[in-house]
Structure 1
Amino acid sequence: MAHGIEDVARAAGVSTATVSRALRGLPNVTASTRERVQLVATELGYSPSPSASSLASGRTRTIGVLTPWISRWFFANVIEGAERTLRASDMDALLYTFEVTKGPRRRVDPSVLRRRVDGVLVVGLPLTQPEVDDLASLGQPLIFVGSGPPGQITVRLDDLRTARVATDHLIALGHRTIAHVTGDPDEMSAWAPATDRLRGWRSALAAAGLPARPDLEVHGDFDVTSARAAAHVLLREHPEVTAVFAASDEMAMGVALAAGDLGLRVPEDLSLVGVDGHDLGELIGLTTMVQDAGDQGVTAASMLLDLIRGEPVPGDVTFPTRLVVRRSSGPVRVGA
């Protein structure tokens, strides 16, 4: 005969509410009571129904994940880290993609999330202020990963410092004409990573007494194909460029392909530095500013679970990056 929650409560000498809280890992249950309830539940073969638990608690045990892409390196790693953390707490992820391409993007509609999720992770999705306000109006815990507007809980890099270190590395190698490949200008809000990486490039050049020329800023849309096309134009029109700082490893790979197309050698004719720590970076010898995207996903999901439990979390968590020097960056060529 199947045993129910009342049987477990009777055998453990507690209320059904205490059984429910103990088995769901909720607070306000002593360690000894939790252990006794779990032991009795195991002996009786009782396992709470997920749907019944959700109905009883008013929770869906589901987290909404909003992102522009799932195939690109940063997004895939953040989502994998978040999902792994959620699964460990018996939570599901409900994925919504809003592809950022040329042309209008469909607006984020919070109504599709209402009563379907217990919290929301926004992974690298550029949102308008009205969209941010609409998500906040759900009254559910909300965390931004990769970038986030002021006043919202955010897990991200120190993008300004990251760009400065990358550019300083090229300056230290003797390069004086350093170009920058950034993202889509239409998506570069004041709080986008690309915006701070552009500012960091400019700042490092200014500190070294070098001009940050606008004609050396090109847009690669954070993908290989677009960066390759942009670098073709850049390198043909500006043969004086000896180094490129790209705001992502995938864009740096596009620049490397363009250099090869034009008969330029890396790093003899053109040095490259990217950002990410992409899995293919070591294979092609790419110098990069390495970040742990997977751990950002773990951290953001853990913080969201804390918020759901009513526990405090920091308003902003900044992850470090570190420079990994490989063969794509070298001293400026003689006579350049």
Structure 2
Amino acid sequence: MVEMTGIVDVAARAGVSVATVSRALRGLPGVSDATREQIRQIAAELGYVASPSAAALPTGRTGAVAVVSPVATTGWYFNAVCEGAQEVLAANGFDVLRYDLSEVETNRRRVFDTQLLRKRVDALLLTSLPLTPEEVEALHAMNRPVMVVGPIVSGLPSVRIDDVEVGRMATEHLVGLGHREIAFAGGDPDDQLGFPVSPDRRIGYAEVLREVGVEPDPALTVPAKFTVEAGVAAFAELWARDVRPTALFAASDEVAMGAMHEARRHGVRIPEDLSVVGVDDHDMSWLFGLTTVAQDVRAEGRIAAGTLLEALRSGIAGETTVTTVPTELIVRSSTRPAGQSAS
């Protein structure tokens, strides 16, 4: 992927703040002629062009956008979405305020306190967060642009991937290699937010198995949050159940990585004894040789941020469109045909 030069790069080269670069390139006061000319020369050298939408934004804004996640900010997926969004927002002179709902009751009330948010942010970007009808109504009442990355929320625009299709792609790959005893690791029994990703990916998994005459075995399905530690626990649970699948579909690459580590600790060879497929194309997935259904998470963040900026520029919230970003199967060394002996 081609790296994009941003306003942060120009600011670093010039030795000034992002705000100064933004003012200089937009022709606003408060910047000396010498500094303005220096910034323009550096921007030209780096190939940076200020977005026309930034200059057209109405005044009286807070200059901040809220990014709301359902978990603490340690999750790779949520950080990657935020990175993509921040790349676009920072280039247009906006700050990002991050909120998480890991303490569900307290934080959810705080985030959806629309009077408080209206004073703090110009727009909201919600990452993989299902909403109640009351919360959607409260967001509309804020009269601020809102964008969802992840689930489809009635009445709000969103950027997403087809998680049922993701489940199908992963399972079709394994079935195509001759596997029929395929485990699934994903889902959180303590989920209080109705997180839809794992259930949808499991639907795709089950559909493909049934299409080849295999009824999904509950003993081969184990819960796992989207962490490496959960992947370790998921494989340990399969081992404790005394089931020995020939393949595993993990709902995320982090789960897959943890499962692979624990499998090897039990003497299970990857992929000779167990083929593993994950989802995301995590930054470290290549290091594990992990076959994965890739999504461009940072692009999803950029698309969402760009949509919010356009709504701010135009003063129109925009249509409740759903943008589905394509996914791609990337085959690495963690999968192989069932029953194939080591070479």
CA distance, structure 1, for counterparts of residue 211 and residue 106 of structure 2: 38
Q: Tell me how far 1:213 sits from its aligned partner.
A: 1.9
CA distance, structure 2, for counterparts of residue 277 and residue 241 of structure 1: 23
Superposition TM-score, scaled by structure 1 size: 0.79
Deviations for 1:299-319, whole angstroms, at most 9, x for unmatched residues? 000001111123545611111
Aligned-partner residue type, residue 65 of structure 2: I
Deviations for 1:184-236, whole angstroms, at most 9, x for unmatched residues? 13438777222211111111111111111222221111111122112211133
Aligned-partner residue type, residue 322 of structure 1: E
Q: Gaps (5+ residues) in structure 2?
A: 1-21, 37-54
Aligned-partner residue type, residue 165 of structure 2: R
CA distance, structure 1, for counterparts of residue 310 and residue 319 of structure 2: 7
- The 5-angstrom pairing of residues 60-79 of structure 1 reads 60-67=62-69, 68-79=71-82
Instruction: Please name the residue that 1:27 is paired with.
Output: none
Structure-2 change in CA distance of 1:334 and 1:80 (3 Å)? closer
Structure-2 change in CA distance of 1:186 and 1:44 (3 Å)? same
Instruction: Please name the residue that 1:324 is paired with.
Output: 330
Answering whether residue 111 of structure 2 is matched by residue 107 of structure 1, we say no
Aligned-partner residue type, residue 74 of structure 1: Y
Structure-2 change in CA distance of 1:239 and 1:333 (3 Å)? farther
- Share of identical aligned residues, percent? 39
Answering whether residue 186 of structure 2 is matched by residue 185 of structure 1, we say no
Instruction: Please name the residue that 2:59 is paired with.
Output: 57
CA distance, structure 2, for counterparts of residue 149 and residue 182 of structure 1: 22
Instruction: Please name the residue that 1:11 is paired with.
Output: none
CA distance, structure 2, for counterparts of residue 269 and residue 104 of structure 1: 44
Contact 2:189/2:223 (<8 A) preserved = yes
Classify the secondary structure of the residue corresponding to 2:184.
strand
Instruction: Please name the residue that 1:82 is paired with.
Output: 85
CA distance, structure 2, for counterparts of residue 297 and residue 174 of structure 1: 37
Contact 1:189/1:195 (<8 A) preserved = no
CA distance, structure 2, for counterparts of residue 107 and residue 43 of structure 1: 45
Instruction: Please name the residue that 2:46 is paired with.
Output: none
| 1:223 paired residue among 217, 221, 227 | 227
Contact 2:155/2:320 (<8 A) preserved = no
Q: Which structure: larger Rg?
A: 1
Answering whether residue 136 of structure 2 is matched by residue 132 of structure 1, we say yes
Structure-2 change in CA distance of 1:249 and 1:44 (3 Å)? closer
Q: Tell me how far 1:121 sits from its aligned partner.
A: 0.3
CA distance, structure 2, for counterparts of residue 128 and residue 198 of structure 1: 23
Contact 2:161/2:327 (<8 A) preserved = yes
Deviations for 1:237-263, whole angstroms, at most 9, x for unmatched residues? 143311110110000011112211221
Q: Tell me how far 1:182 sits from its aligned partner.
A: 1.1
Structure-2 change in CA distance of 1:333 and 1:104 (3 Å)? farther
Aligned-partner residue type, residue 76 of structure 1: N
Q: Tell me how far 1:328 sits from its aligned partner.
A: 0.6
| 1:91 paired residue among 91, 94, 103 | 94
Greater mean alpha carbon deviation, residues 86-95 or residues 122-131: 122-131
CA distance, structure 1, for counterparts of residue 278 and residue 29 of structure 2: 56
Answering whether residue 287 of structure 2 is matched by residue 283 of structure 1, we say yes
Deviations for 1:35-91, whole angstroms, at most 9, x for unmatched residues? 9x95999897999xxxxx9xx833212111111232222111110110110011111
CA distance, structure 1, for counterparts of residue 295 and residue 248 of structure 2: 19
Aligned-partner residue type, residue 163 of structure 1: G
Contact 2:125/2:149 (<8 A) preserved = yes
Greater mean alpha carbon deviation, residues 205-214 or residues 164-173: 205-214
- The 5-angstrom pairing of residues 190-229 of structure 1 reads 192-229=196-233
Q: Tell me how far 1:108 sits from its aligned partner.
A: 3.7
Contact 2:238/2:244 (<8 A) preserved = no
Structure-2 change in CA distance of 1:126 and 1:231 (3 Å)? farther
Aligned-partner residue type, residue 338 of structure 2: V
- The 5-angstrom pairing of residues 296-311 of structure 1 reads 296-310=300-314
Structure-2 change in CA distance of 1:165 and 1:228 (3 Å)? same
CA distance, structure 2, for counterparts of residue 104 and residue 219 of structure 1: 23
Classify the secondary structure of the residue corresponding to 2:200.
helix
Instruction: Please name the residue that 2:257 is paired with.
Output: 253
Structure-2 change in CA distance of 1:190 and 1:208 (3 Å)? farther
CA distance, structure 1, for counterparts of residue 215 and residue 192 of structure 2: 22
CA distance, structure 1, for counterparts of residue 246 and residue 28 of structure 2: 68
CA distance, structure 1, for counterparts of residue 232 and residue 89 of structure 2: 37
Q: Tell me how far 1:107 sits from its aligned partner.
A: 2.1
Q: Tell me how far 1:93 sits from its aligned partner.
A: 1.0
Contact 1:220/1:251 (<8 A) preserved = yes
Contact 1:148/1:191 (<8 A) preserved = no
- The 5-angstrom pairing of residues 233-272 of structure 1 reads 233-272=237-276
CA distance, structure 1, for counterparts of residue 195 and residue 76 of structure 2: 21
